[in-house]
Amino acid sequence: MSVADVALQVIWTRLISVVEEQAQALVRTAFSTSVREAGDLSAGVYDAEGRMLAQAVTGTPGHVNAMADAVAHFIEAIGLDTMAEGDVYLTNDPWLGTGHLHDITMVTPSFLDGRLVGYFACTAHIVDIGGRGFGADAASVYEEGLRLPIMRFADRGTVDPALIRIVRANVREPDQLVGDLYALATCNEIGHRRLVETMREFALSDLAQVSDFILGASRRATLERIAALPRMTAMGEMTVDGFATPITLRATVTVHEDRIVTDFDGTSAVDPKGINCPLVYTKAYACYALKVTIAPDIPNNHASLAPFEVTAPEGTIVNAVHPAPVALRHIVGHFVPDTVFDAFDKIVPDLVPAEGAGCLCNFQVSVRPTGAGGRRAEVLTFNSGGSGARPTADGLNATAFPSGVMTMPVEATEHAGPVVIWRKELREGSGGAGERRGGLGQHMEVGTLPGHEFDLQAMFDRRDHPARGRRGGASGAATLIGRSDGAAMQVKGKQHVPEGARVVMAFPGGGGYGDPAARDGDAVARDLARGYIDAATARDVYGMPQDRVDAVLAAARKGTDI
């Protein structure tokens, strides 16, 4: 590597640092708990042509991979000839952004000495955007909230007051949303400042040479990985709960010499309710699944994503077109990787994990007072089931894969409104048995303070179709939900909970990998001692002798080593 290449590599690393600082600034300044507590965001830097050069480590694949395509839409809609220093643009258009109205994407052109050199973009999930609220109940996108076309948030440094008034008039938590808008704009500004510092330090007048180096190296490295794969076609399929009826996801993956094509022909049609997924979000997670499988160490940018092509017929649930309801597009989108893995496992065995919980175990609580002294609140909490076991390691407990969004702390949830989380703990026995055990889900129980009732917007799946194991591994446990007074509840949709009642939930576990009989005895003993499995499972599923079961439990009670 030449001296010049070393310098370019240093600049590339610096850009990754810049966008990570950009993302952390958004975490620190955002008003919505979904951003500051769960990390449901993304940040990136782009060259003057709108090609993503680097993304923040903090963030979700659905956001950042969808955002990779978004800047080009902004350039086309705003027009290069009208852009100026101090401009900031935004949209939450599901088909131009990240798939639903609750994600706002902001783009800021970056100028150096009066010359446009690149762009910064960021996306954040905001708690409320008006309409019916965050949930699957709408029959069209028009019911799901305020839709902002690509437009100026700020024109030469001046924020549009009319836009702010419109936003305030259409949402339940106006201060929160407006605060998030300013946080998004600020994090882009921080990225811009750091970029200017970097360019001055390295005496750069533009990013052209840096862009060529980053994108060229990324593309070559990705193509090398693809070229080493078998030239094969394989089909993967899975069924999930859907809203009122099950849906089938089907992916055909074809490995060519210089690209991998994933086609979703055969997938179920658009659903009447808001679980439909625009193609941009489907593409984001299909690309992610293949990239983490064959090229996880290659930085994520325009060039490393380009060889992954994704197609789907219009009108399928993974290519829903306007005006389909799309609020919970993540439910379908988060199952895309498992569908792609099912196909890729037939091409390169023993590489991809078993199925996991898939979609986030989210719920939103709309609290209302039943008398004087109470208060209204919209409280969104992100939670996770277990991830699928891997060929060489157990699945992760209560971990959101593929989204990477963090489980929200109880304290943050209760601080956001008169909500009480009565229980939150790992769910014993929920991980699928296998040589590698699936990750555990969680138990949760939620209610409100006295003097309040609430509506719960359920956003769950895996009740009727739990995560499947792989290579002989067992399925994970299914989702359970009900009210403390015995009333039944559905896994999706808005449901009323009267004062004094609680919602009791058990989130799904990940599937196991490999024959449970091949699991290491010490690993079984650790699971038993930690309460991940019970004595019957250790004995009957994993074949642990009864005397060792008794010894492990006795040692656990005493707090001594096994």
Q: What is the pLDDT of residue 1?
A: 58
Long-range contacts of 421-428 (CB under 8 A, 24+ apart): 421/445, 421/446, 422/446, 422/447, 422/502, 426/397, 426/398, 426/531, 426/532, 427/477, 427/506, 427/507, 427/509, 428/531, 428/532, 428/533, 428/534
Could you tell me the pLDDT band of residue 5, with boundaries at 50, 70 and 90? confident
pLDDT, tens only, 123-141 = 999 999 999 989 999 999 9
> What is the pLDDT of the chain when averaged over all its residues?
96
Tokens of 74: 């902004």
pLDDT in tens, 145-174: 999 999 999 999 999 999 999 999 999 999
Question: Considering only the top CATH level, what class is 3-219?
Answer: alpha beta
Q: Are 366 and 128 in contact (CB under 8 A)?
A: no
Distance between the two ends of the chain, CA-based, in angstroms? Answer: 52
**pLDDT, tens digit (0-9, with 9 covering 90-100), for 476-535:** 999 999 999 999 999 999 999 999 999 999 999 999 999 999 999 999 999 999 999 999
* Model confidence pLDDT, tens digit, residues 387-420: 999 999 999 999 999 998 888 889 999 999 999 9
pTM, 2 dp: 0.95
User: Do residues 343 and 235 make contact, with C-beta atoms less than 8 angstroms apart?
Assistant: yes
Domain boundaries, the chain: 3-219, 353-519, 521-562
Q: At what angle do helices 521-530 and 546-558 cross, to 10 degrees?
A: 40
Phi, psi of 44 (to 5 degrees): -160, 160
Q: For 501-532, give one letter per residue: b (16+ CB within 10 A) or e.
A: bbbbbbbbbbbbbbebeebeeeebbebbbeeb
Confidence of residue 3 (pLDDT cuts 50, 70, 90): low
pLDDT tens, position by position, 188-232 = 999 999 999 999 999 999 999 999 999 999 999 999 999 999 999
The reported pLDDT for the residue numbered 304 is 95
Q: How far are the Cα atoms of 50, 280, 467 from residue 68, in angstroms, in the given order? A: 9, 10, 30
